[in-house]
Chain A
Amino acid sequence: GEDVEQSLFLSVREGDSSVINCTYTDSSSTYLYWYKQEPGAGLQLLTYIFSNMDMKQDQRLTVLLNKKDKHLSLRIADTQTGDSAIYFCAEMVAGRRALTFGSGTRLQVQP
């Protein structure tokens, strides 16, 4: 079955790096995603990685994928107060028409 797990909360100081972790169980995942949800808003796609990649970098964001351990991480460099939000990890499994989301990690950035 499909299961995506994340820790619930992370607190960092402004300017530090944040690392949000996610584990998934379905080895047939084709794409893995990070979505961001700001207060009172819908989810916004931040970045995604194809399952045959192990790293993707996009400005301050770095996604690392360890397929052997089924572990995905999102690193935000130089974290800003505007990065405070809930971050959802999600996977797309081959043959399905839906994303499976984790429960979200609330990132709090302290000045």
Chain B
Amino acid sequence: EAQVTQNPRYLITVTGKKLTVTCSQNMNHEYMSWYRQDPGLGLRQIYYSMNVEVTDKGDVPEGYKVSRKEKRNFPLILESPSPNQTSLYFCASTSVDRANTGELFFGEGSRLTVL
């Protein structure tokens, strides 16, 4: 089954404790992206990657890091989480030809709470 898998789905952590949210897709997609969803703000892009070893900042990259060492995986790293990073996070992927048309496949989301 074609899917985008995120882990963990739910996490409560404390300020300053490094964490990683993993994202894996099995569709051989080149393009992967992370969004955060906050009430009243819709989804905002954090980082994206057009292919292995190619990453770029989105609209709200501050406080986040990403890496793309393999095509299928695109982890989101919070080196020192703060309460304003409490949010619902979505990973999405698509093929390069679809990246230009915005047809994204989304994971089920990871709800992160930073105390």
Q: Which residues of A come within 8 Å of B, CB atoms?
A: 4, 31, 33, 40-45, 48, 88, 90, 92, 97-99, 101-104
Asked whether, in the complex, the Cβ of B42 is within 8 Å of the Cβ of A97, the reply is: no
A44:B42 contact, CB within 8 angstroms:
no
B93 CB to nearest A CB, Å: 11
Q: Which residues does chain A contribute within 8 Å of B74, judged by CB atoms?
A: none
Q: Are A97 and B99 in contact (CB under 8 A)?
A: yes
Chain A, residue nearest B103 (CB): A45
How far, in whole Å, are A69 and B85 apart by their CA atoms in the complex?
36
Between A and B, how many residue pairs show CB distances below 8 Å?
56
How far is it, in angstroms, between the C-alpha of A32 and the C-alpha of B77 when the chains are bound?
30
Complex alpha-carbon distance, A99 and B92, angstroms: 11
Using Cβ atoms and an 8 Å threshold, which residues of chain A touch B31? 97
Query: Is there contact, CB below 8 Å, between A99 and B106?
Result: no
Known: A33-B102, A48-B101, A88-B43. A43 touches B58 (CB 8 A): no
Q: B residues within 8 A CB of A43?
A: 43, 90, 92, 104, 106
Contact B106 A42 (CB under 8 A): yes
- Is B56 positioned at the interface, with any CB of A under 8 Å from its CB? yes
Q: Given contacts A4-B42, A88-B43, A98-B48, are A42 and B107 in contact (CB under 8 A)?
A: yes
Decide: A99 near B108, CB < 8 A? Known: A4-B42, A42-B4.
no
Q: Is the CB of B90 within 8 A of A99?
A: no
Whether B40 lies near A45 (C-beta < 8 A) is no
